[in-house]
Amino acid sequence: MTPEPLDSPSTGLARRQLLQGLAASALVPALPVLAADKPLIVGGLPVTCNLTLPVACAARVASNKASGSKAFEFEYSKYSGWPEIKESLMTGSIQAAYMLAPLVMDLADKKIPVKVVSLGHRSGAVIMVRTDSPHKKFKDLTGKRIAIPSRFAVDFLFLRKMLAQEGMSPKDIQIVEMPPPDMPAALFAKAVDGYCTGEPFGAAAQRAGYARPLRMTRDEWRNYICCVLTVREELIKTNRPLVQNLVDHVQGAGNWLDQQAANREKAIKIAAGRKFFNQDPNILRFVMENPTDRVTYGDLRMIRSEFDELMQLSIEAGTLKRPVAYEKYVDDSFVKAAKAAPIPI
């Protein structure tokens, strides 16, 4: 905070107002217009909830290569955690990213100029415990250590819903925040008794044989959404056709992923590469096949009531302080105008 000025009260007030204005303007940097020959960088995490992004990027490159054009090219940038991706989007280092839906609500409420323009997936979260543990229900986890990615993560809201079904609250367990890639090893070492996260970090431990799902969103919360395509408002104002093309490709990728198993196999090979997730393709394949609707992508409609439910759950969890108007953090015009792009890969 700025130290209190030592001059007269009236002069001090004017100076404070000036400094506050400057500080506020610093949160909304003037972003350069994206050069026509430069790809749009889109941030994402190496999680299967973000799988539509590598597919969309690869499809756009393939289309441009076939036509000899570089129009509307976008490029995946891998991040290790939500705090880093949030900071990059806040400062304008990147203009688009897959983000946690409640986190976007919070940013918009704090006057960070961002908007959700598309979903990225449905389902895909799991609550894992050790295979050799006696835990069958949440009452068995009373007093146990459970890891979550973030209190803004919809995984945390999923955990709260499951606890509430048995008359429990987060106070009945010990919650620790942990990067999802660290969770399987922590469970193996018995540093935690369970964890709640998005795939493929549940599948990694399950495939290795030492963990099993206690609950899955596919069974408990079919319309679950977590990661959403988010862009800065400056990009919408300066290059609306580019945003529309990105949404068209994400929507196309979602349809394509759910059309047939062969498409998912292609997606696994793309996403596993160094340019994208840089992960073991066998783990990604396990997610796609066990069962096949562990994560789904074909229904990427933007439904206000679903966002309202997330907002209310986030308020109850204390991650949002107050309701945030849908229009303040969502621009659904791109989805309404979307024409699912072909995926020529």
Is the confidence at residue 25, as pLDDT, over 70? no
The CA-CA-CA angle for residues 317, 323, 327, to 5°, reads 130
Q: How far is the C-alpha of 31 from the C-alpha of 176, rounded, in Å?
A: 37
- pLDDT band for position 35 (50/70/90)? low
Mean pLDDT of the residues in the chain: 90
Report pLDDT for 280.
Answer: 96
| CATH number for the segment(s) 40-123+224-336 | 3.40.190.10
Of all helices (H) and strands (E), which one includes residue 107?
Answer: helix 101-109
pLDDT digits (tens, 9 = 90+) for 69-89: 888 999 999 998 888 999 999
**Average pLDDT rounded to a whole number, residues 137-152:** 94
pLDDT digits (tens, 9 = 90+) for 120-135: 999 999 999 999 999 9
User: CATH 3.40.190.10 residue ranges in the chain?
Assistant: 40-123+224-336, 125-220
Is residue 76 within 8 A of residue 57, CB to CB? The reply is yes
Report pLDDT for 121.
Answer: 97
Report pLDDT for 37.
Answer: 64
Query: In terms of Cα–Cα distance, which of 145, 299, 283, 287 is closest to 159?
Result: 145
Of all helices (H) and strands (E), which one includes residue 104?
Answer: helix 101-109
E-strand spans in 110-259? 114-119, 122-123, 125-130, 145-148, 174-177, 194-198, 211-216, 227-232
Query: In terms of Cα–Cα distance, which of 239, 221, 223 is closest to 74?
Result: 239
3-class secondary-structure state, position 28: coil
Report pLDDT for 36.
Answer: 55
- Relative orientation angle of helices 261-272 and 240-257, to the nearest 10 degrees: 120
Report pLDDT for 259.
Answer: 97
Q: Express as a percent the part of the chain with pLDDT over 90.
A: 84
The residue ranking higher by pLDDT, 5 or 334, is: 334
Q: In what order do the strands lie in the sheet with 174-177?
A: 174-177, 145-148, 194-198, 125-130, 211-216
Q: Express as a percent the part of the chain with pLDDT over 70.
A: 89
The architecture in CATH of the region 125-220 reads 3-Layer(aba) Sandwich (3.40)
Report pLDDT for 152.
Answer: 86
Report pLDDT for 9.
Answer: 35
- Taking residue 172's Cβ as centre, other Cβ atoms within 10 Å add up to 15
3-class secondary-structure state, position 112: coil
**Average pLDDT rounded to a whole number, residues 316-344:** 97
Q: How far is the C-alpha of 250 from the C-alpha of 309, rounded, in Å?
A: 24
Report pLDDT for 30.
Answer: 45
